[in-house]
Structures are given as C-alpha cells and as structure tokens.
Amino acid sequence: MSDLPAKAPRWAIWLPLALFLGFVALVIVGLYRPADRNVASALVGKSMPQFDLPAALPGRPGLDSKVLANGKPHLVNVFASWCIPCRVEAPQLGALAKAGVPIEGISVRDTTENLQGFLQTNGDPFQRIGADDDGKVQLALGSSGVPETYVVDGKGTIVYQHIGEIRPEHLGLLLEKLKEAGQ
C-alpha cells in the first residue's frame, strides 16, 4: 500500500478561477443594476398619527395634529438644530415658505437655546414648531432620522414622505405633491 495522496480530478485546478469569475460577474451585475434605495413609507395614504406637542419656543404655538386637518395641505418637517443636513435644506424650506406653503415643524430632541440659534442662522420658515423632546412623534411617523418631510392633505392624510434633506432639485416634486394634496 502506498502513502501517497489520491490524485485530484483535473477540473479541480479550474475551480478557483471559476469561483473568481462568478464573483466578478455578480459585481458587474450589481454595478449596472443597483438595488432600489428608496424606502417606501408605511404611512403614505394613512392619517397623521395623533399628537399634541408643546411649543418648542416661547411665544410660538406648538403643533397639534388637528391643525393638519384644517382643509389645506401642509408640509411637516421633522428636524433638529444639531442636524447638518437640516442646515442644507433650510434655504429650500425658506423658498417654499415664501411661495406660500404652510410649513409646520417638529423639533426632535432639541433645546430652546440651540433651536433659537439654528433659526436665527438658517431662517425660520415654520408657522408652528412642536417640541418632540422624547422622539415619540418621530417614531410614530416611522421617521428613521432627521430631516424628513411629509406632505399632508387637508384631511390630515400623509400623501408623500421625503427622506433626507430637501435639495433645490426636489422643490418641483414637493410643490407638485402639495398641489395634488390640495385637490
């Protein structure tokens, strides 16, 4: 009897090359057909969750979900003073407010002083700002972070959710969604 190992089949020498080529093919397919990165909101088409947030700033009204069912469409922006993308979207929110869009704010885990500084630096497009100090309303909205913006029709139904900061190229879409919400 011999102590020599058995000879491997001839195809075994090509196995590493075949596995490598299979991996390269998967990478190429992934580059040409990337996964859909859009997150579908479970709340679109449903009523805004019920809430009554206290005022985030002295002398300003807080935000009650009943205000969002007053017959007119609204933009509801979930933001925070410590949020860098919120600073990026501030000029676009200002432009929407100047165009007559009613914008309501939900300030998440913020302090009065920081919020005042944020609004002085970046502008204040909000009609009302509710203080969501514990993040419960943010969670009820299914919000994964800040900023997020919701288009709410006059009956208080969420018709569109925008995840991330609003950029200049998003203004047309938001205005279109607001127009549809007002019909």
Those residues with Cβ within 8 angstroms of residue 33's Cβ, 6 or more apart along the chain or in another chain: none
pLDDT tens-digit series, residues 80-111? 999 999 999 999 999 999 999 999 999 999 99
pLDDT tens across 32-48, in order? 876 655 556 678 889 99
Q: Give the whole-angstrom CA distance, residue 158 versus residue 152.
A: 4
Structural domain containing residue 166: 46-182
Alpha-carbon distance 169 to 1, whole Å?
Answer: 78
Pairing of strands 128-132, 148-152: unpaired
Q: Report pTM.
A: 0.78
Kindly state whether residue 118 falls inside one of the protein's structural domains: yes
11 found inside a domain: no
Residues 106-149: pLDDT tens digits?
Answer: 999 999 999 999 999 999 999 999 999 999 999 999 887 899 99
Based on the structure, what is the number of domains in the chain?
A: 1
Q: What is the CATH number of the domain that holds 166?
A: 3.40.30.10
pLDDT of residue 40: 60
Q: Beta 148-152 vs 158-163: how paired, if at all?
A: antiparallel
Residues 6+ apart with CB under 8 A from 102: 72, 73, 74, 75, 127
Q: What is the DSSP letter of 43?
A: S
